[in-house]
């Protein structure tokens, strides 16, 4: 019986200490902020596919896809800085397409420094760089930012 009384007093003292730390004003807010989850948590829901931005020019979309492919390959093979440059440049295209294209062109010049020793890996990265370079050049010509290539 004495142990039960001591246990109740300890519980009351701990509860009073917590109430003093939380404060009377914050107590109501904290109780309201504890929300009971309703339904299935988002962790178990299937991911919705990313939607492509509407109104993007097909050539711009081609540039963004090529940049994403090259950036993911570079990142997977340990060239974080070059991949970050490509991702940042392609992100700039959403706000200012011309500035993004110039940034991609600058990043492509820096990729020449990337050292790849394996033959098949070198061919793959060269193919991705050529694909991005061609897409950027086509978009430059379409926007008339650079003079057209002469045949």
d(CA 143, CA 146): 8
d(CA 84, CA 86): 5
pTM (global) more than 0.75: no
What are the pLDDT tens digits along the chain (151 aa)?
A: 899 999 999 999 999 888 778 776 776 676 677 666 566 556 666 666 655 456 678 888 899 999 999 999 888 888 888 889 999 998 898 888 888 888 888 888 887 656 666 667 778 888 888 898 899 888 888 887 765 444 4
d(CA 15, CA 129): 64
């Amino acid at each position: 019986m004495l142990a039960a009384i001591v246990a109740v007093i300890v519980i009351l003292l701990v509860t009073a200490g917590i109430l003093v730390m939380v404060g009377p004003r914050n107590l109501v807010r904290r109780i309201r902020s504890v929300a009971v989850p309703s339904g299935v948590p988002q962790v178990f829901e299937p991911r919705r596919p990313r939607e492509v931005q509407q109104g993007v020019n097909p050539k711009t979309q081609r540039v963004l896809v090529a940049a994403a492919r090259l950036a993911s390959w570079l990142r997977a093979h340990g060239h974080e800085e070059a991949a970050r440059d490509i991702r940042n440049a392609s992100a700039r295209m959403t706000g200012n397409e011309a500035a993004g294209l110039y940034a991609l062109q600058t990043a492509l010049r820096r990729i020449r420094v990337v050292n790849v020793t394996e033959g098949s890996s070198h061919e793959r990265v060269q193919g991705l760089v050529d694909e991005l370079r061609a897409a950027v050049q086509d978009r430059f010509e379409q926007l008339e930012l650079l003079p057209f290539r002469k045949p």
